Amino acid sequence: MSEVNENDNAQEVNETPEVKNETVTATENTSDASFDWDTFEQGEVFGSKSSKEDLEQLYDKTLSTISEKEVIEGEVIALTKREVVINIGFKSDGIVSRNEFRYNPDLAVGDTVEVYVESQEDKKGQLVLSHKKARALRSWDRVNAALENDEVIKGYIKCRTKGGMIVDVFGIEAFLPGSQIDVKPIRDYDMYVGKTMEFKVVKINPEFKNVVVSHKALIEAELEQQKKDIISKLEKGQVLEGTVKNITSYGVFIDLGGVDGLIHITDLSWGRVSHPEEVVELDQKLNVVILDFDDEKKRIALGLKQLTAHPWDSLNTELKVGDVVKGKVVVMADYGAFVEIAPGVEGLIHVSEMSWSQHLRSAQDFLKVGDEVDATILTLDRDERKMSLGIKQLKTDPWEKIEESYAVGSKHKAKVRNFTNFGIFVEIEEGIDGLIHISDLSWTKKIKHPAEFTSIGEEVEVVVLEIDKENRRLSLGHKQLEENPWDVFETLFTVDSVHEGTIIELFDKGAVIALPYGVEGFATPRHLVKEDGSQAKADEKLDFKVIEFNKSSKRIILSHSRVFEDVKRTAENTEKVEQAKTTKKGVKKLKDNLEKTTLGDISGLQALKDKMEADEKN
């Protein structure tokens, strides 16, 4: 390359007009005469008055005056795969690596470029230039000017980065967000790497040396005008061809040729659609109908299903209430299931139509999405496009022959479904529910809440006590599985009988006493006083006397105090009886003695007799 530069420089010097003319003249004048060296050494040649210094100055004017560490402009005079030869008017040309012009693949011979003079002459006598450094020195001025003047600039896309691309702009690494590459979403970022594109500077952060550029901004203005022109020609009901531009969970964006419209997921198909990808795919071309549009917000609502007839209009005309249809569960709710019997034709199976059971349950207990079911049409309204279905109707109603299957007095096993304060709701089989009243749980125990007796989900044995076919309810009992023990208790716990009992519960109004054979009695506070005057306590074992027995109300009233009070009373009565006997014996003896007494003792004896009779009366 150095030889090429020397030849070029020589050619440039030889082609300088002034020098060439002088050379031609000298050749012509000396064709027949010898050269005068003395005159040449004195500075006068061919009779000219110009000195040697004048000639040097004339030559110097053909060269540029440059200084190191400055930025100047030069002309591209040659290109190779690796290097760019640049003439800056110096005695030799400069060479710059082709990599420094990667951002400008259109570089050609004759283009003017800026270069930074690193050295006028290296060890090989070569001029050393740098285009990259020149760009770096001028880049921030140019970038700021581009932003201020809304100028379109060129940049080279170097590589991908998170959220976008890195672009070389005037030697500065600028950020191109993915959303600013094009007006449509970009699915393959790599296809842009290595390309040179036009951009606009949209943001500069001098503090952090950040530059943000946009290619989308260049085409938005043009597209905006296109949108206005397209929207001005739109009409509701108009059918247009478009291309699927983007698919979201809620709908599909369609490119109508410069303006976008949205097909909401509910307008893609008459049937249920879980995701738009089930119906369309990216870049697919399809016809759509304009449902609505907004001139100000430039929003266009499109429809796809409207281009086909509504499925209800083509529904079999012979279909009627009572017919059995097949369908697929497409949506579940707590109150029921929506079943699609044909694309776009759905019926609702309410939870109450899923089972003959009166027990409140969720629809998810019977069906799930995707289930294929047979159902009976209960109602059909073609005008309102509504249909209700039922699946329990395909099974026999268990209440039709309830008296045969569950006669009064029959025994069965039932599953506990729910509790209330007054009893337990059980299910003997699907559709057959019954209630066990809390009073029918046990003959002997006082049950305050059914949870004390059993738990939900447990199985219990029951006896049918009563059938209410109209309200579809059974009255059930559990204690009736055994004979009434109160018939026996009546002979055991007679009034005044004494039994050992344990105080199991103590409260203000009295105490509950556990008696033998699992029966319980009740004693008021005054009947809980012990012989030493203290009050009986919980868990204390004592003797209790039955003071009242009521079979019908299953009530036994007890008293501990009566036990020792009656004993004491009996002892007192016995003592009085003995005293009376002693008195009678004394009176009799006295009478006998009186008969033997003399008349002189009568007056004294009479006084003693009166006294003894008075004592006897007492």
What is the pLDDT at residue 350? 92
Residue at token pair 């249909």: 387
Are residues 15 and 106 both part of a single domain? yes
Instruction: Copy the structure tokens of residue 523.
Output: 């004693």
User: Among the listed ranges 78-82, 423-427, 471-475, which one has the minimum average pLDDT value?
Assistant: 471-475
Reading the block at residue 191, the tokens are: 């296809």
Residue 507 has pLDDT above 80, yes or no: yes
Name residues whose C-beta falls within 8 Å of residue 246's C-beta, 6 or more positions apart in sequence: 184, 185, 252, 253, 282
Q: Over range 13-29, report the average pLDDT.
A: 40
Confidence of residue 1 (pLDDT cuts 50, 70, 90): very low
pTM surpassing 0.75?
A: no
pLDDT for position 609: 66
Whether residue 269 contacts residue 305, with contact meaning beta carbons closer than 8 Å, is answered with yes
Instruction: Answer whether 406's CB lies under 8 Å from 468's CB.
Output: no
Predicted local confidence at residue 8, as pLDDT? 43
Q: Are 86 and 98 in contact (CB under 8 A)?
A: no
Q: How far apart are CA 570 and CA 472, in angstroms?
A: 62
CA distances from 393 to 113, 329, 366 (A): 89, 18, 14
- What is the total count of domains within the chain? 7
Q: According to the model, what pLDDT value does residue 14 have?
A: 39
Same domain, 118 and 16: yes
Average per-residue pLDDT for the chain:
79
Please report which confidence band the pLDDT of residue 522 belongs to, taking 50, 70 and 90 as the band edges: very high
Cβ-based neighbours of 258, under 8 Å, separated by 6 or more: 223, 226, 227, 230
The pLDDT of 37-59, averaged and rounded, is 57
Check whether residue 79 and residue 105 sit in a common domain.
yes
Is 72 inside any structural domain? yes
Instruction: Decide if pLDDT at 21 tops 50.
Output: no
224 falls within a domain? no
User: Percentage of the chain surpassing pLDDT 90?
Assistant: 6
Same domain, 18 and 90: yes
Residue 143 above 50 pLDDT? yes
pLDDT, residue 172, reads 81
Distance separating alpha carbons of residues 356 and 395, to the nearest angstrom: 9
User: Which tokens in the block code for residue 472?
Assistant: 């579809």
Q: How far is it, in rounded angstroms, from Cα 162 to Cα 158?
A: 13
Residue 453 lies in a domain: yes
Q: Supply the pLDDT for residue 169.
A: 84
Per DSSP, the three-state class of 389 is strand
- Averaging pLDDT over each range in 132-141, 169-178, 245-254, 588-597, which range is the top one? 245-254
Same domain? 11 vs 128: yes
**Can you tell me the mean pLDDT for 365-389?**
89
Q: What is the DSSP letter of 291?
A: E
pLDDT of residue 322: 87
Quick check: 300 and 290 in contact, CB under 8 A? yes
Is-contact 521 511, C-beta < 8 A? no
With a CB cutoff of 8 Å and minimum separation 6, the contacts of 332 are 338, 363, 364, 367, 368, 369
**Residues 353 and 284 sit within 8 Å (Cβ to Cβ):** no
Over range 518-528, report the average pLDDT.
88
The predicted pLDDT at position 616 comes to: 65
- Return the axis-axis angle of helices 602-617 and 561-596, rounded to nearest 10°: 160
Q: How do 473-477 and 432-437 pair as beta strands?
A: parallel
Residues 500 and 474 in one domain: no
More confident residue, 411 or 10: 411
9 and 55: one domain?
Answer: yes
Retrieve residue 13's tokens: 């010097």
- What's residue 10's pLDDT? 38
Distance CA 84, CA 104 (A): 12
Pairing of strands 251-255, 239-247: antiparallel
Mean pLDDT, residues 357-378:
84
Identify whether residues 168 and 47 lie together within a single domain. no
Q: Which residue is listed with tokens 């949506």?
A: 331
Q: Is 407 in the same domain as 387?
A: no
| pLDDT value, residue 404 | 79
* pLDDT tens digit sequence for 324-355: 999 999 888 888 999 988 888 889 999 888 88
Within this chain, do residues 12 and 128 fall inside the same structural domain, yes or no?
A: yes
CATH number of the domain residue 500 falls in: 2.40.50.140
Give the closest residue to 45 by CA, choosing from 29, 32, 68. 29
User: Do residue 61 and residue 125 come from a single domain?
Assistant: yes
Residue 158: inside a domain, yes or no? yes
Mean pLDDT of the region 308-329: 86
Task: Give the end of a domain, one of 443, 459, 481.
Answer: 481
Q: Look at 24 and 322; give whichever has higher pLDDT.
A: 322
Q: Which residues contact 518 (CB under 8 A, 6 or more apart)?
A: 444, 445, 485
Residue 182 lies in a domain: yes
pLDDT score recorded for residue 6: 40
**Is 43 part of a structural domain of the chain?**
yes
Q: What pLDDT is attached to residue 184?
A: 72
**Looking at per-residue confidence, does 581 or 128 come out higher?**
128
Instruction: Write out the residue range of the structural domain in which residue 161 sits.
Output: 150-219
**Least confident span in 57-61, 205-209, 534-538:** 57-61
**Of the residues 285, 307, 329, which one is the last residue of a structural domain?**
307
In a domain, 140, yes or no: no
Given this model, what pLDDT does residue 58 score?
62
User: What local confidence, expressed as pLDDT, does residue 607 receive?
Assistant: 67
The predicted structure's pLDDT at residue 29: 44
Domain boundary among 286, 307, 328: 307
> Within this chain, do residues 386 and 451 fall inside the same structural domain, yes or no?
no
Question: Is 160 a member of any domain?
Answer: yes
- The most distant pair of C-alpha atoms in the chain lies apart, rounded to whole Å, by 231
Tell me whether residue 337 is exposed, middle or buried, using C-beta atoms within 10 angstroms of its C-beta: 0 to 12, 13 to 18, 19 or more: buried
